[in-house]
Structure formats: C-alpha cells, structure tokens
Structure 1
Amino acid sequence: MRAGNPAQARSGGVERLTPAGDPLLAAKFAVPAVPRTHVGRNRLLDRLTEGTKGPLTVVTGPAGAGKTTLAAAWAATRPSPGPVVWLTAENDDSAPGVFWTYVLGAFHCHQVPLPDSVGIPSHTGDVDHSLLVRLAAELARLPQPVVLVLDGLERVPGRGVASGLEFVLDHAGPQLRLVLISRVDPPLRLHRYRAEGQICEIRGAELAFTGHETSLLLRRHGLSPSPESVGALTSRTEGWAAGLRLCALAMQQADDAEQFARSFAASQNAVADYLIAEVLEAQPAATRDLLVRTSILDHIHPQLANALTAREDAEWILARLVHANAFVEPIGDTPWRRCHPLFAEVLRAHLHSRRPGLVPQLHHQAARWFAGNDRPSEALKHAAAAGDWGYAAALLVDHLAVGNCLTGPDTHRLEQLFSAMPEDLPGVAPALVLAACALARGEAASGGAYLDRAEELLGSTGAPEERLTCALLRLLVLGGGGGGGDTDTDGTAAEALAARTRDLMEQVAAPQLQRHPEIEALRRYGRACALQLAGRLGDARAAFTEALDVCTAESAPEVRCHCLGRLALAEALCGSLRAAGRHASEGLDTAKAYGITPSRCPGSCHLALAVVAADQGDLQGARRHLGHAVDAGEAHDPVVAVETAVLHARLELAFGQAGSALDILDAVQAIHAGEPAQRMAVARSAVHLARGDAAAAIAALQAGGPGGPAHTVALSAAHLAAGECEEAMRLLASIDGQQDMSVADQVRVRLLEAQAATLDKDAAAAVGLLGRAINTARPERLRAPFTDAGLWLRHLLTSTPETADLQSWLTGRPGDAEPLVVEHISPREHDVLLCAAQMMSTQEIADDLHLSVNTVKTHLNSIYRKLSVSRRSQAVRRAREVGIL
C-alpha cells in the first residue's frame, strides 16, 4: 500500500497542534521525491522489503550516503505489508511531547485510523506513559500492518524518545513495522533485537555504490563514462552517493568530463562545500580543530591527535565521530582511525587556506611522535613535509635504513622524498643520504663525491651507524666503478672494505641490525660487483652465489634481481650458458613477481640472455634481448656498459658491419684499466681481424696491456692471422691448463691449434682438435667460436669426410634448431639476399645493384655455401632463421 496525502494534517476538521500550540508542519509527513537521476539498486530495495517483514529495520550511514533516497524509492516502487507512514524528524522535535505529537500526526496524515481516545501529549518536555500504552494497544488492533518510517532520527537524541519507541514497538505486536533512518545508531537496545533475529540492518558499507551502479548513475546524468573514469570515481569517493552525484553534476559542466574523472582535485572541489557545511561545520569547535589539525595524517592515533591539538580527549572525540558516521572510520581492532579520502583532502585544503603557517609545525610534531613510537617511515615523511631535512637524514642513518634507498618496497618513495633535499645541507647524515640517492640513480661517481664529504666530516669519530653506512656505501661505489683515481684493479680494496663493513656491523645493536637484512645483502652484493669489475669472474660467481643466500626476495627484491643478473652475466662470460640462462630468467621472474618497475629491472638479466643467445648462434634472439637490456638503462655500470657494447659490436660484425662495430666500441666512455679495458681490447681486435688487419688487431691488444686468458687467446689469433704461427702457439702454450679459462676460451684454444694444424697440412690433427673443441662446447650448445673461426673451418669440414658427424652439429642438422653460419655474410652478399627475398630474378638483381649477372651468381653461390643450402628459397629461409634478414 502507498502513503496517504501528506497535506492532511487535520483530524475531524480540527487542526492538530503541538503541546506548545504550534501547528504541525505537513512537509515533515511527505515522502521525499525520488530524483530523476536515481539509480534503483535492487540489492538494497530487496533488503528493505525483507526487513519490513519484521519489526525493526535500521538504515545508518554518513551524510549523503543515500539513506533517505533509498527508503523513498522503496516506498514509491515496492509493495509493502501495509500503509507507509513517513515522518522526517528535525532538531525542534527532540522534546518527547513534540516528537510523539508528530508521530500521531503522521498516522492521521497518512490515513491510518487511530481513535481520538489515544489522545495527544499535553506537555512539551514529556509524554504520559498511558498515552504510549493506548497507542500500542490501538496499533495492535489495526486490520493490517503499518510501516512507520522515521527519517533523521539522529536529530532526536536522548534515551527518552528511544525508550518510548521500544515500548510501543514491543507492545504493538506484528502490526507495527518500524524503519529508522539515521546517521548514527539509534539509542535502542539493538543487541536485544539482534539476539532475537528481529532486526534488519543496512550500514554505510552496503550503501556505497558499486562500479556498475556508478556507471548507471553517470549515464543517468547524460554522461558516457569510460571504465577507467568509473573506476577512478568509485575508488576516490569510496562509493559515497552524494559525492558521486556532485561529481556527476560537475562533469556535466566540465569541458573534459574524462579529465575531471581522473582528477582527484576536481572531485575534491566538487564536494568541498557539501562536506564543510554538512560535516565539518556541524561539529563542535574542539572537534573541528582536531579534524583540521590531524588532516596532515594518513591515519590518526588518539595519542598523536592529542599531541597535535594539545588536548587529552582526542580518543573520546574520535570515538564520537566514528559513532556519528562523520566520515571517520576505525582501522580494524586498533586505536587508529582514518578519514574518508575526499573529506581528508577538504580538511587539508581548509588548513592550508586558513592557517598555512601551522602546517610545518604540525608536520614537525608528527615527525617527533612517529619517531618516538618507532615508526621511522612515517616520521621521515613528516620531517620532509616540514622541511626538516637534517632531522630526516639523521633518522634514516640512525635507524640503519639508508639501504632502503637502494632496495625494498620503500626505494622509490625514499628517492622521491629526498629528491627535494638541498645538496649543500651540512652534516654527515645528509651527505650519506645524498650518496645513497646517487647510487640509486646509478651515479656511482657522484655517490663517491658525497662520501668524500661524509668521510671528511666523520674523521676517526662518528656514531657506529654513520661509520657502517659510510663503509657500506663506499663498497657499493667501488663495485659500481665510482672509485675515482683509486680504482680497484684486482679486487683487494673491495675485499678489505667488505671485511671492514662486516666488522662495523658487529658494533651496532643486534636487534637494530636484524631489522635490516638488506645491509648484509648489499655488503655481499657490493663485494661481488667489485670482484666482477676487477675481472675475477670465478670469485665473482662465488660471491654472487653467497649474496643470494641472504638476498631474499622479501627483504631485498631489487638486490636479488641484480645479483641474479650479474651472476648470470658472469656465468655467460665463463661459458656456463645453461646456468646463465636459468639465473637470468629467475631474475626477470622475480622482478615481475615483486612489481619492480621496468626502469629498475636489471638490464644485466637481459644482457646475460643476449650473450647466451649469441654464443648459441641465435643472433635474432641476441638482438631482441640486447634491446631490452639497453632499454633498462643500466649503462652507468661499467661492467654492463662494456658488455653491452662488446655484444652489440659482435652482432654488427656478424652482419658484416665492421665499421659500425668499431663506432660502437669507440662510443663507450674511455676505460683505461681493469677487466673492462681488456674486454674492449679483445672486441676491437676481433673487428680488425674481421677486416683482415692483423697488425691493427695486435696493436689494439697491446694498447690494452697484459691481460687474462681471453686476452692471450685473442693475441694468439691475431699473430696466427699475421702468419706468425710460432708466436701464436707459444702464447697458447703459456695459458694451457689454466684453471680460470672460460669454456669459450678453451674452445678457441683448440680451434686455433686446429687452424695451425691445417696450415701444416696435418688434417688428422686438425680434425682431432676440432673434435675436442666440439666436445667442450656441446654441453653448453656453444657455437660462437666456430662461427667466428673463419673460412679455414669450412674448408676443413667440406674436405674431410670424417668430419660429417661434427658438421651435423655445427650446421644445426639434424638435431639442433639453430643453424650455424661458419662464415660471415659480406655487405654486398647481404644486398643480394635482400633482393632474392623480394623474388627478384638474377637479371633484376644485377640491374638493381649495378652488377653483372655473373657477379650476382658468384655472390649467390657464396651465400649458398655459407648458409649450407643449395637453393635460393632455402637461403632466404635460413637467413631469416639466423636473423640476417
């Protein structure tokens, strides 16, 4: 049944009056109109229908949650068990006599017959109990149930009215169905109704709009929202109905509705007036002051609120705000509270506009409170907001948390936080934090300069935390190639510094150290990087493996990823290609699992995979991984920079671009010592040899100074190419049997010996040496040394029948998918291949390249031989397989 005519506030033609003699206001009996843009939410309407089958339904939520609109929509659209009697309570109705007069007036207004014998209250301040008895008795005699909706019940505080409602509800029997709408829980004994299963409760969380309902609401306002804007608004308002409606109205007027939906500030502006008028200004002065002062906080603790307001009753005030659904919510079963995000932003804007000078002072007080309560992360945030950089830096150092600038979930936040700290700020702690931030950006040299300043200020004194932080960062600077003039060419300085860092760790409090496992992870990682930079690949592999033992993904995810990448790179350079591939893939998987951004994802993982692919003959895969490594932006690291350039040059050389290969190597910043210099020298010599300039190859190696086995093998190859076979063999004999030779160098030694044997016309010895080389290379599927060997190997394979089994592995037939190109395709042959891939005839190729037909045929035959094919279509397919096309 629907509600009656609310204009009828008379009974028997006589106007009804309050005990004070005032006429009843008919507007209070009117069921509110449902807005044109209303979204009927069946899940809630069904709850109300179910609730009115029982005696009591309570709908509570903050201002603007949609409580009244929900009940009005239900009254207008859903069947009810009987007449719906509506009363909107106001502040003037708080006196029991006035309230019950309006209740009786509502029954008469909505044509629910109650006899005059029920009576009316005679006094404003109270109501005679017998009147309530008569009312309950008459309601129990009604022929059908009646639904009494009391809206705005929070405006009628006090136990007097509530006890009367309970009495009438309990004694009217099943004929009275009471629906209470309020911002706060009505002061009834709700626990009793819950225990008896006689209550239906609809709370603020259920009133919140879902994403689908938000989309419907926006469309009702004539908007066409994208899923992104719907999600943004729903999340930002947390489904608050009034906020969404206000945003929808503002979007109608906006030039770019989608941009409005994405802007938090726009949403804040749209609801600011409502929240200030309906929530903030409705509070007492003390409560308003607390809300505004604590708006600088993400979460509010009563003790912290007391500290910011110089009060002692914050706990009571916050509890009252939670109870009143005043956009303050509890956080679990803790004393912490939170404001609705939009309300918090409005409060912050109010604070900044009304009392801007108070903001730094509040952040300063919050920083001290958080620090004193062992919450350094929050203390740092507020110290930075207060511009108290010296205190913020000291907090980070004193808590041994500088490592968090380099790894862990706070890395990006800390880097952004301290990006505003002045570089000339005096003191040890600021210098140490600036050094850590520089290292996080990959600027080892800048980090070293800041450490020089810190060490000068420290002298021989300083707190253990400062000295430990300084030693750790110095080790990381050394491993990153930022040692300046004191470059650690053999790793001894790194070993000593790692030991000193470990000793300093023993001087700080053990519980404090246990809270920062990343310190030991970074110590081991820094040592391993320095050893790798010094060319001690075997020791570096062992050191990275040791570092992984303490670099858990939970405590130091970025360090673990970089450890895996650098270990994989060291393994790849040592020829342990399978292990390198496993560790590099694990590093990338870890980065993905822990949400490490692409800018922080270790390029060494991709670089290691690129080296593996190149060494196994997959040039196309090598190019793809190399591109990912370059995109990762780790070129600041000397090891990664050098290996990136070396591999890039190798790939250019594989496609006959010797000039481009040299340009790539020349573009790398000058490195005058250590393993990187040797690697560059070996790479340059390979380019010169490919160009047929053995003298230039020897000169490049001699300019790099004496080096390890790879340097000696390259020098031997250059002398052999120069016709100096005796010198080449002498050099190989000097390193034969060395323990630190990589798999690739071992293979190259056998190949050079095989090449020398072919020069001596000793085919049998050459085939034997080739077999030994293949047996060494086969477990790792290492093919690059054979690709780089040159024409002599092709002649040996084609002219010696007993090499058929060896040739099947080298050329990728029959078992392996990746064919081997033993001899490089020249630039002109590459041009001919491109034309052939376009289905051009021999004459068309000749005309296009300005060559004779016979020259084109010569190039094609050379291409067939190099690619181990017999037809043009096979050549094009094979060239695409190996990445030439």
Structure 2
Amino acid sequence: MTLPLTRLRTPRVDTPDVRGGQLPPYPGPEAAPYPGTEPPRRGPEPDAPPDPLLATKLAVPFPDPGLVRRRRLLDRLTRGTRGPLTVITGGAGTGKTALVASWVRSGGPAGPVVWLTLDEDDAPGAFWAYVLEGLRRQGLLTDDAVGTPACPDGVDRALLVRLAAALERLTRPLVLVLDDLDKLPGRDVYAGLRFVAEHAGPALRLVLVGREDPPLPLHRHRTEGSIHEIRERDLAFTRREAASLLRGTGPAPDQEVVELLHARTEGWAAGLRLCALAMAGAEDPAAFARSFTATEQAVAAYLLTEVLAAQPVPSRRLLLRTGILPRVHPDLAAFLTGQADAERILRGLARAHAFVEPVNGTRWYRFHPLFSEVLRAHLRSEQPELEPLMHRRAARWFADRGRTAEAVDQAAAGGDWRYASTLAVRHLMVGPLLAGPGAVPSAETFSHMPDDTPGTAAALVAAACRLAREDTAGCRARLARAERRMIRDAPRTGPAELLTAALLRLLCAPDHLAAEEAAHRVAGLMAHVPPEERVRHPEIEPLRLYGLAGALLRAGHLRRARAVLEETVRAGADDTTALLRHRSLGRLALAEAVQGDLTDATEHATASLEVADRHGILPEHRSAAAALALASVAVDRGEPHAAAVQLDRAELLPDSSSDPVLRAERAVLRAEADLALGHRQDALTALGEPAPAGAPGPAARLAVTRAAAALAHGDPDTAVAALERVTDGPPSCAVALARAHLAAGRPGLALPLIRDAEDAAETTTPDRVRLALLRSHHALLAGDEGTARDRLVEALDTARPERLVRPFTEAGPWVRHLAGGLDGRREACNWLDAAPPDRAGPAVVEALSPREREVLAKVARMMSTEEIAAELQLSVNTVKTHLRGIYRKLCVSRRRDAVERARELHIL
C-alpha cells in the first residue's frame, strides 16, 4: 500500500554553483517532476496514517535563484549519463549537489529522474524503501510490482531480483541520483546496489554523488569504459566562472580581484561564495581581496564546522598538528603527533576530500592553503604554545634527513633563529638566497629575526638579507659585526662562515679593487669546499663573477666588465641560476650598447628577457637592464619613440631605481631620447639625477649627457664646466669636451683632446664616429672641404655596420650640407638617408612564434588561460609563458593592449 507523503521544506544545496541566470520554477506536487513522465500516483485520502518517508529526501534540491549553469560541467553530465555510471566526488562546498540539481532542473537528463538524498541513519531497508518510492512517484512501478522491504535493517534478495527485473523492462533511460552516498553506514547497501546495477539492463543510469568514491568495482568500469568521473579538480571554478559568481553579489570585480580570490581559494566553490558575500559587505572590496587574513576569516567557520569538526578525534589531532605545514609526510606526521597510524589517517582524509590531497608520485600530502591557514589560526587560539613547538620539531626531522632548506624554513617559523641561521650558513644557503627568487630559505624567511640574535651565523644571514633587499649599507654594517665575531672566535670559525663572509664582502664591495680582492678570496676558499658540496651549490661561481662584473661596471671599466659578464653567463647555465643569467645578460647587453655594439646588445637583451619569461621570473625580481639596453639601441639608431617605450618598461622594475648603474643609465637615456625629440627642458629635468657616489662610470655618463644637453641649448661653456668636474673619465668625456671647445670656437683646446681620445684603448665605436666628425667639422671650419669630406666618409663607414644614426643627427646641419657634395662617394651615406623615421608606436623587439600567434588569437576571442590551455592541449603554465613572451615582444603589459597592438601591426 502506498502511503501519502507529507511535503517538507526544500532541502539545502551544499554549495552554490555560479551566480547569475534564472532556473525554471518548481512544477509543484501535482505536475510531473520531469518533462515527459507521468504524474505521480496519488495516495489515499488525508485521513490515512502518516507516511514515515520524508518527501524532501526524494525532491530535487532548489539551487540558489541567482545561479548560472556551468555549461562545461552540465555537458559532461549529459555525456556521462549516456552510460551506466557517473561518479561525482569532491570535498565540502565544491558544488556537487548544486551541479547535479541544476542539470536536472535545466532539462539535461534524457529521461525521468529519481533523486535520493541520503543520511547517516539510512539502513539498507530504508534505503531501498526510498528508491522504490521514488520509482513509484515517477510512475515507473506499480504498488505490487516489487513489494516493500519488510524491515529497515535489511532487504530480501528476492525483492532486489524483482526490482532489477522491473527496471530491465523500461523502454527509456532512468537516471537514479544518489546524493551524499558516502554517508551510508556499512557496505550492505553497496552490495545490493551493485547487484541491481548489473542486472537492471541498459535503461538504468546511476549518478553517485559524495565526498569519496563508493566501494564499488570502479576499476572494472574504468577498464570497460563504462564510467564517467567528475572529480574535485573538475568542480573547481575557472577564472571566468569565478568572475561570474563574484558579479552576482555586488559590483563587477576587476581582474586583479578575481585573480587573487581564485588563486587563494583554488577555485573552491564555497570559498569563493563566502568571500564574495563578505567582500560585498566590506568597505573596501579590493583591500578585502588582497588580505589573506580577511579571506581566511570569511571561510573559517565553514571549514571548522563542515570539515574539521566532522572528523574523528585522531584525525582532528593530526590535522591541527600537521596542518600548519605546507605539506606533510606520513613519517613526519607520526613524529609530530605520536600516532603510528598517521599514514592511514592521511590516506582516509585524502579519500574523503577533506582538503588534503596526495602529492603525485610521492608519499607526501598537501593541505589546501585556506584550510591550512584556518587550522593555524585555530591552533593559535586553542593551544598557542603548540604551533612553534611543532615547527621546531619539524625542523629537526627535516635536518636529520638532509632536507636543510625545509629545516631552516621550519626553524624560522618556530622562532628558533639561532638554529635556522646556523643551518643556513653551515650548508652555504646564503648563495641561493641571493641568486634566485623563490629560494628556500629566502630573505623573507628571516624577515622577523631580531637584530640582536646572537652568533656569527645570525649576523651573516642578516647581512645577506639586507643585500637581497638592495640595502648595501645595512649589509656592510652587519657583515662587519659578523667579521668581528669571527676574529674573536677564530678557532671555532669554519670554512662555510669564511666563504659566506667573503662572498658578501665581494657583493657589497665599495670599489672594484676591493671587489677583485674579495673575488680572489672566494675562489681560494671554494678550493677547500668538498666537491659534492660544490655540485650542490652551482650558484656560488656565477655569483662571484657577477659581483666582480658589477664593481667593474660601477668603475666604468666596460671592456673588462663585458668579459666577466660573458663568463658569468657561461657559468650560470643551471636552472637554479636563471635569475643571475637574466641579470647578467641584461647588463652585458647594456655594456655592449654603450660601446656601440648594437647588434650584440639586441641579441643579449632579447636573450635576457627570454630567460625571465621561460623561468617565470616575477616582475619584482626582474632587472631593467635588458629594457635599458634596447632603449640605448633605439636611441643610437634614431628611434626615440621606441626608446621611450622601453624606458617606460624599465621604470616599472625595482632595480632601475636601486642599482646606481641602472639608475644613472635610465636618466641618461631618457635625456637622450628627449633631446632627439627636441624636448630640451625635459632632458634637463631627467638629468636632475645626482651622480652616484663611488660609481665613476655612471657619473661620467651623466656628465657627458649634461654636456650634450647644454650644447643643444647653445651653451658650450656649461658643457665644458660639466665635463671638467669629471676626473680620470673614459675617452667619451674627452670626446665630449673636444666637441664643446670646438663649438665655443676654441679649436686649439679641442685638437689635443681629439688626439688623446684617438690613441686611447677604451675608445668605443660611437666615440670613433664622433672623433671623425670632429675632425671633419674642424677641417670644414678651416676651409679644407676635401679633408672634411674624407673624414665624413670615414665616420659614415665606421657607423654603417651598427647603423649608428645619433652621432650624425646631434652633430648639426653642417653634416647634411657637407654630404651633399660627396659626388662620386655619395653611396657612403645612402644607409643614413635610408634609415627609417621613428614611429609613433613601439617597435616589435622580435617576431611572434607560431605558437604565440595561436595563443594571441585565442586571447582575441576572450578565452581564459585555462580555456586556451585546454584547446591547444598545453599546460596553464606554458600558456602563461607564451603570454609573457607576447607582452614583451609587443611592448605591452595587458591582454587588451596586446590584441590592439597586434591589430595595428596586422598580426591579427
């Protein structure tokens, strides 16, 4: 007999899907629950006994009225239910129920749907009673076709046989959705479910939804290709879906907010929804998105209630003691908790999608970053003394297994600064700290170390951290303190301390002489380091060379600096030294550009940018040297607009302000570009940069450019005054001074300077072009036009290989006048006449590769990074690398600008 069902409240959906669109209204109890099915059978009159079955367990949940369907997943569900089994698993709040509910209500299934939401107390008899009642409500069974379980604790096998036989007779597909299947106690239900599924025929389509895989023979279904699986990683929101969700709760967020929240939640549906609701009520939504603490607070209650509190006591203990770590090994978990079954617990947590997942190919496990932060905050609140103790114990565990980087990181997190710094110095970890971003330990690792931490190692690490932040004075002060302690404790000072101190002394040397002495000392000490240790630290030799090259650049010894930088690039071929290679190539290119080797400069600047793109070096760690080198090439080739674009890019990078060589070069190139454009006052403003102390090379460059600006204003005396302040300057100073004297009508003072510069070993190609022009101009002023033309041809021939245009444009109109009378030698200046005029837009540094063109075409179609990766069958990181290359080559920094620029250049 069928009993009347009492309609209860609409059940809760476990998490929203995506905000936006409208769903059709619920058809009501009198209508067919699914299009194309018969109305449910009516029960007896209201005076019959109440039905013990709950109607809400058989009702399709109502999603949030503002949900938008995620088409990629809805289509997968439709495809999956063409076969016998679809399994959807994911942790709390990943949107499993909401996804299937929106699929059902939007007309996705190809036949009637029976929905059953399960609870912990659903015994086998109760489970099958609900299944049978759902089938009857859909008009698929008569009252006496199968029967009813006799008791809630079990079910007769004959009933399951009759049920399978009845389902086998169905002529159209039936979708049976079992939601929260993992809540079922025991395995009796699964045995019956397996029997019915295997004998019910092709019409039955099971959709199993839960936090972990059901104990069914899924491996057999995978082998047969008869299962469709949607996992937690598939349920994660894409950036585009996250943007849609966030738009549904308030003003449309900008791309930065979407990126931040998506990265922080890793696409977790409930996390995004909770953050969106909290952000909608925040005074400054953007500040909320940037704050990890605010994000953590928004989801804390949910995670503590739905995930942590739902675990048994042993699992909660393990989560609280190990969740403070970025990842955990079962042996480490056992060491921290004293639980011998730690591996079993971790495996169970991962299987239940409790925000713990295995690291592929290893025995390690990682925690969702938000969950880890919530666990850390909860532990600090409940047992504040336990967190530092766990970090310190973890440090010893890592150190005992030779994992020094992790040991240092954990010791620092536990506030054991002396142990952390001792490990870092003893294992030569200051080198990685200085050589590359993302190294462990990093300067950030020691950012909270007290300045008075005792010990030589602590002082050396403090000095290295100051140097990593470009604080040379702070490095020298702490290094001096460390060296005093090393002298006092000489018998106990080991080779690692001596080598670390020598390397730091080299990198903060005040002049090139001190740097050369320190570089020699580092090389000598490295000879005493065991070979296996040298292999583990490939960054020390390129760091030594890089430090020496930097000192030579500051001193203005460009030729020697170039030789050392070339050696640095060869020595830094290891992936761990990618940042050093990027910076060395950029500085090599800049030295080449200053010396007039523009082709080599362009090649090495491009290589520097490619290294940064290929290794994903973040903007805050990138060097401006390559962009400045390209700006220098553009200025010398008469393209001031292109130079200005490169200068704008360079100014966004931190070392264009912190490095004295780059800071001075930026001012020089900005002034030269302004002078080429006729903006003389802007050039003087750019040259307001004071000459850096202890850097004679950049000081001389600034003086030469100030003289050029003064001559452009017709003020040779000011030019002479600017240059005479430079003592022991390079030949370019003598060339500029000779030009100023000649402009002032003092050829007697100019000629000796010209002769000295012509004989100097350090004279560059631009200097030789200018010297020939000065000789030509002097002869012209003396009335000797034949000699003047001979010298002009010499200048043109010297400049032609590198297309050096600027010396001729800055020389004055007399050059064009004289060139007009070359007669038979007119072809000598054809290349100068054919030089392309500077364009108003930026030049393309390098042609786009075929793959970059493909990626750019997808960007133009407004596709997300994930969608591009899926369509081109690439990893997301590879797509990001291609995007960075596109931005660099098109001289832009955003997607929209890249598309517009590509259309201007007819690339799209």
TM-score clears 0.5 = yes
Partner of 1:463: 494
Shift of 1:317: 0.4
- Structure 1, residues 175-218: CA drift from partner, whole Å, max 9, x if none? 76655443332333333444455555444444445556556666
Matching residue of 1:190 = 218
User: What is the rounded CA distance, in whole Å, between the counterparts of 2:199 and 2:659 in structure 1?
Assistant: 83
Match of 2:142 among 104, 113, 124: 113
Matched, 1:816 2:844: no
Query: Are positions 1:740 and 2:762 aligned together?
Result: yes
Cα–Cα, structure 1 residues 766 and 382, in superposed 2: closer, same or farther, change >3 Å?
Answer: same
Distance 1:674 1:43 in 2: 62
Are 1:356 and 2:387 an aligned pair?
Answer: no
Question: Is residue 454 of structure 2 the alignment partner of residue 426 of structure 1?
Answer: yes
**Shift, 1:320, TM fit:** 1.2
- Given that residues 9 and 15 in structure 1 are in contact (C-alpha distance below 8 angstroms), is that contact kept between their aligned partners in structure 2? no
Deviations 1:147-176 (A, max 9, x none): 655444333332333323334444555676
In structure 1, distance between residues paired with 2:622 and 2:671: 24
Counterpart of 2:608, as a letter, is: G
Q: Residue 387 in 1 paired to residue 415 in 2?
A: yes
Distance change >3 Å, CA 143–CA 118, structure 1 → 2? farther
Distance between the aligned counterparts of 2:269 and 2:687, measured in 1? 63
Are residue 307 (structure 1) and residue 335 (structure 2) matched? yes
- Partners of 2:111 and 2:638 in 1: how far apart? 84
- What is the Cα deviation at residue 27 of structure 1? 4.0
How far apart, in 2, do the equivalents of 1:198 and 1:292 lie?
40
The 2-side partners of 1:664 and 1:41 are apart by: 53
The equivalent of 1:547 in structure 2 is 568
Q: Does 1:602 align with 2:631?
A: no
Residue 506 (structure 2) aligned to one of 465, 472, 475: 475
Compared CA separation, residues 196 and 476, structure 1 to 2 (3 A): closer
TM-score by length of 1: 0.75
3-state DSSP class of the match of 1:497? Answer: helix
Residues of 1 paired with 2:709 and 2:166: CA distance?
Answer: 107
Partner of 1:569: 590
Matches within 5 A, 1:165-314: 165-171=193-199, 179-196=207-224, 199-210=227-238, 236-243=264-271, 246=274, 265-314=293-342
Going from structure 1 to structure 2, the CA distance change for 1:5 and 1:13 (only over 3 Å counts) comes to farther
Alignment partners' CA distance in 2, 1:152 and 1:465: 58
**Aligned residues: CA RMSD:** 4.8
User: Which structure 2 residues correspond to residues 838-857 of structure 1 after superposition, within 5 A?
Assistant: none
Aligned-partner residue type, residue 539 of structure 2: E
Return the alpha-carbon distance in structure 1 between the equivalents of residues 171 and 679 of structure 2: 100
- Matched residue SS, 2:656: coil
Structure 1 pair 798–198 and aligned structure 2 pair: CA distance change class (3 A): closer
TM superposition shift of 1:302: 1.5
Equivalent of residue 528 in structure 1, options 549, 552, 562 = 549
The answer (yes or no) to whether the contact 1:8–1:26 under 8 Å persists in 2 is: no
Paired amino acid for 1:746: R
Deviation digits for residues 829-878 of structure 1 (CA, Å, limit 9, x no counterpart): xxxxxxxxxxxxxxxxxxxxxxxxxxxxxxxxxxxxxxxxxxxxxxxxxx
> How far off is 1:498 after superposition?
2.3
3-state DSSP of counterpart to 1:329 = strand
Tell me which residue corresponds to 1:90. 119
Q: Deviations over 1:659-715 (max 9, x none)?
A: 998898786247578555665666677778889998887777666445554455566
2:142 aligned partner, one-letter code: P
Instruction: After superposition, give the CA deviation of every residue in 1:731-760 in whole Å (9 maximum; x if it has no partner).
Output: 655665444332344344445555565676
1:712-727 paired onto structure 2 within 5 Å? 713=735
Deviations 1:430-470 (A, max 9, x none): 33333333333333333233322222222356332222222
* Residues 43, 663 of structure 1: alpha-carbon distance in 2 compared, 3 angstrom cutoff: closer
CA separation of 1:340/1:728 partners in 2, compared to 1, >3 Å: closer, same or farther? closer
C-alpha offsets along residues 740-791 of structure 1, whole Å, 9 cap, x if unaligned?
3323443444455555656765554444444434433343344555566679
- Which of 63, 66, 69 is matched with 2:92 structurally? 63
Q: What are the superposed Cα offsets for residues 284-316 of structure 1, whole Å, 9 maximum, x if unpaired?
A: 111111112222122232122222222221110
What is the CA–CA distance in structure 2 between the aligned matches of 1:726 and 1:219, rounded to whole Å? Answer: 76
Q: For 1:453 and 1:11, how far apart are their aligned partners in 2?
A: 94
Select between 751-760 and 505-514 the one with higher mean Cα deviation.
751-760
Q: Cα gap change, 1:372/1:678 in structure 2, threshold over 3 Å: closer, same or farther?
A: same
Partner of 1:153: 181
Distance 2:280 2:776 in 1: 81
Query: Structure 1 residues 172 and 409, CA, compared in 2 at 3 Å: closer, same or farther?
Result: same
Does the aligned pair in 2 maintain the 1:85–1:110 contact within 8 Å? yes
Matched residues, number:
798
SS at match of 2:327: coil
**For 1:409-446, what per-residue CA distance to the aligned partner results, in whole angstroms no more than 9, with x for missing partners?**
32699243333333333333333333333333333333
Evaluate the alpha carbon distance shift between residue 515 and residue 672 of structure 1 in structure 2; reply closer, same or farther with a 3 A threshold.
Answer: closer
Higher Cα Rg: structure 1 or 2? 1
Whether 2:530 is the aligned partner of 1:515: answer no
Take 1:574 and 1:45, find their aligned partners in 2: how far apart are those partners? Answer: 62
Question: For the residues of structure 2 that align with 1:239 and 1:653, how far apart are their CA atoms?
Answer: 51
Give the direction of change, closer, same or farther, for the CA distance of 1:210–1:672 in structure 2 (3 Å limit).
closer
Residue equivalent to 1:858:
none
1:522, distance to aligned residue in structure 2 (A): 1.7
Q: Which residue of structure 2 aligns with residue 538 of structure 1? A: 559
Q: What CA distance in whole angstroms lies between the structure 1 residues aligned with 2:82 and 2:735? A: 92
8 Å contact from structure 1 (residues 56, 179) kept in 2 = yes
In 2, Cα distance between equivalents of 1:570 and 1:311: 61
CA shift, 1:562, in A, is 2.9
In structure 2, distance between residues paired with 1:46 and 1:285: 40
Determine if contact 1:442/1:634 at 8 Å carries over to the other structure: no
| 1:641 and 1:668 in contact (8 A); partners too | no
Contact residue 33 and residue 39 of structure 2 kept, 8 A? no
Helix, strand or coil at the partner of 2:323: helix
Give % identity.
Answer: 47
Corresponding letter in the other structure for 2:386:
L
**Is 1:446 the counterpart of 2:467 in the alignment?**
no
2:608 corresponds to 1:579: no
Give how far 1:808 is off: 8.6
Q: Per the alignment, in what secondary structure is the counterpart of residue 794 of structure 2?
A: helix
CA distance in 1, matches of 2:599, 2:530: 43
Report if the CA contact (8 A) 2:422-2:457 is conserved: yes
Cα shift at 1:397: 2.8
- Which is further off, 720-729 or 269-278? 720-729
- Work out the CA distance in 2 between the residues paired with 1:586 and 1:193: 51
* 3-state SS in 2 of match to 1:92: coil
For residues 518 and 296 of structure 1, what CA distance do their matches in structure 2 show?
31
- Corresponding position of 2:894: none
Aligned to 1:503: 524
Partner of residue 10, structure 2: none
Does the Cα contact within 8 Å between 1:553 and 1:560 map onto a contact in 2? no
> Deviation of residue 718 (structure 1)?
6.9
Does the 8 A contact of 1:221 with 1:252 survive in 2?
yes
- Code of the residue aligned with 1:816 in structure 2: it is A
**SS of equivalent to 2:523:** helix
- Tell me which amino acid in the other structure corresponds to 2:579: E
* Residues 314 and 702 of structure 1: CA distance in aligned 2, closer, same or farther (over 3 Å): same
Cα distance between partner residues in 2 of 1:316 and 1:336: 13
State the AA in 2 paired with 1:420. H
Structure 1 gaps of 5+ residues are 17-22, 820-885
Match of 1:777 among 793, 799, 803: 799
Residue 656 of structure 2 corresponds to which residue in structure 1? 634
So what's the TM-score if we normalise by structure 2? Answer: 0.73
